[in-house]
Structure 1
Amino acid sequence: MDTTSDRPVIADRHGSPHSRPIGYWTATVLVAGEMGVGGIWDIARISYVRDVVTHLGYPSYFLVLLGTWKVLGAVALIVPRRPLLKEWAYAGAFFTYSGAIASHLTTGYARGELAPLTVFTALTVLSWVLRPPSRRMRRSPEL
């Protein structure tokens, strides 16, 4: 006896019941992974990262500050609940990637990095848009 036909299947507008969570988790894991690994590289001030930051005109101590926030943001995106913390992490990721794009464009340095930075900016927005209700801020009633 097939009992699956008794349960309603809620599909998204594209017809797949699983595409939204898969898209959310794919984008979120990629962004959190890049922020986590990138943050660790920043804190360690590995030579590649230090050279890029120096060429962009930032002091090397900036890497420790940025790296710490990136690691904390990566953790915030992955842990359950804490929707306000997640909003801050999304904002931080967006500002990090878009700020890096602006820095590369204004200095003309390492323009080859623009494509991955643009992809991570888009993945950040995609993760934010696709996040499930449990990871969203509740709307306050209108006054």
Structure 2
Amino acid sequence: MRTITGNDQMAKIGSRPIGRTAAYWIVTILLAFSIALSGIGQLMRYGGNVDLVTAIGFPLYVTNILGTWKLLGVLAIVVPGFPRLKEWAYSGIFFLMTGAALSHVFAHDYGDGGFHVILPLFYAALGIASWALRPTSRRF
């Protein structure tokens, strides 16, 4: 029978959370940066945001709503504390992104190589990964 020394136990316990924490922050920063840029672009109606929204039949004022929700969701996820609000923000990002992908599918607006569908689904996957990797301090 092998006994576990204090150093073995610390190495085993200490290595996993560090890797998990690093993965959480990498995924979360990538998600936050992407969603924030998207939200700012929608609020400013920058680039192809106007065409992207109106091409699938939504009114232009939707960009104000979506852009605001995205920025508030990013703040909720990144700012420490408020674990229940984080849960709502993660679910909001998931529904927002899957809803965007489905809206483009139903409007037959796939973009080049399915970009209008693949990108929001990628963001939804990042949201799921960030939620699943979040440290205990960011849970209920």
TM-score over 0.5 for the pair: yes
Are the aligned partners of 2:102 and 2:117 in contact in 1 as well (CA < 8 Å)?
no
Are the aligned partners of 2:42 and 2:63 in contact in 1 as well (CA < 8 Å)?
yes
Partner of 1:25: 25
- Distance apart, 1:17 and its partner CA: 4.7
More helix by percentage: 2
Q: 1:34 & 1:10 partners in 2: Cα distance?
A: 34
Mark the runs of 5 or more structure 1 residues left unpaired by the alignment: 138-143
SS, match of residue 18 in structure 1: helix
TM-score (norm 2): 0.85
The CA deviation string for residues 84-136 of structure 1, in whole angstroms up to 9 with x for no partner, is 11011101110111001101111111232222222111110000011111111
Partner of 1:60: 60
Q: Percent identity?
A: 39
Partner of 1:118: 121
Number of aligned residues: 132
TM-score (norm 1): 0.84
Partner of 1:9: 11
Are the aligned partners of 2:101 and 2:118 in contact in 1 as well (CA < 8 Å)?
no
Q: Match of 2:123, as an amino acid?
A: F
Mark the runs of 5 or more structure 2 residues left unpaired by the alignment: 1-5
Over 3 Å off, 4+ runs: 4-7
* CA RMSD between the two structures: 2.0
The CA deviation string for residues 2-29 of structure 1, in whole angstroms up to 9 with x for no partner, is xx947712449xx745321121111111
